[in-house]
Structure 1
Amino acid sequence: MRDISAKTPIWKAIADALRSDLAEGRYTPGDKLPTEAALAERFGVNRHTVRHGISALVDEGFVRTRRGAGAFVAATPTDYPIGSRVRFHENLIAAGRRPEKRVLHLEERAATEGEAKALYIASGDPVCVYHGLSLADGQPIAVFESLFPLARLPGIGEALKETSSVTEALRSVSVADYTRASTRLTAVRASATQALHLQVTEGDPLLRSSGVNVDEAGVPVEYGRTWFAGDRVALTLEGQ
């Protein structure tokens, strides 16, 4: 027979209640949960008990916490294919997400030695640099910078001022198509400015992708570096 004296631990009851809130759509991915103080008042318990309940949801992957910022409903990671044809808008639409890009800054400067090597130009040659923010369903998922050789692609800077799409900008300067020639993935920590744009905590894990795109003749037209929020994107490898 069931022991009627057995009781559900309060922290577990809190976790169950919050889980039900999530299931009913009271909170959606990316939303911030009420503060520990507010939840403690709601359930009539102390903050330690609330913290225990939230920790259970963190362990289950429903919630994530950021030091000093609170607890947030964990967004389902967006699948983002990495292959020979990397297209931001197409990738997100295929994943059922609404894509958006925001231009943070456009500049012209001299290429560093490493950038020049990637673009097959001389160190110090002029490049156009596009700094931007990528979003899925309004949530920031990555910051990026794309470099274009100015001598090879005259007018690319003006084109990027007209559209946030790299594909459209390249098409306007007579690059009808391009493919990914190489990709390198590394794990890094978020800098203060990256954390600000991505709405994460400085030092949080990011996944950095660096790659070179080439035109139909195999000539580099873009060298890009992207820093993805580690818990918001699942990079998948496609056949080349």
Structure 2
Amino acid sequence: MSIGAFKKSRLGFTLVEVLVAMVIFTMVIALSVTSYRFVLGQIDDNQNRSDVSQLSKIKMLNQQVRALEPLFFINNKGEGVPFFVGQKDGFAFISPTPKLLDEHMVIAQILASEQGFIYCELPYGSQSLQNYVLRERLCQQQVILYQGDNAELEYFGWRDALQLDNYYSEYLNVSVRPEPAWSSRYLSSSRGVLPLFIRLTLTPDAAQEPISWMLQLPEVNPFQRGVSNASQG
């Protein structure tokens, strides 16, 4: 074999290798793109499932708050007041529609923890209502409603029942009528009325900006105590 023939043969073999390599490279790129799209699809599906799960839990919380039982009890001053304890790190109310415990009525707690917002229930009657203190350790079962950091709560409502009465008074000028306000602490045992709204705020995992949403409580006339089941807790 001549040197020229060897060079031609070697050159043809190299071109075939290049063509084969190009085909393989194209297939690898196609598979990579397909895999990337599949992974993105899985991430989107997982994210959507997570979002749906969180939305369903928030809907459950909203339903629980709307079904809040305005149960009146006797406070330390001997006054009949509705039960509601609201702090910056959680709130509690009476619920006639338990979601976790097999009870006819429960004390529902929503707590702001390091994990986010947690919902749990305690059997009604297991704790005194007069000096009720929010405690996560008392929760037999709990559900994480929304994961995130810097979870906190605020309450929008009247200073007391007298201020509410003055707001609807026919004898006060509109310009001087009192208005409800936001606060990080709301105890119905001292105010005599329930808050109007609750605002929940937290920064979701892997997010930069905090988010917030509000829950509306049922309207309760504090002067119709005889209609509710009075309890001294």
Q: TM over 0.5, yes or no?
A: no
The answer to which structure has the higher helix fraction is 2
Greater gyration radius: 2
TM, length-normalised to structure 1? 0.28
Pick the structure with more strand per residue: 1
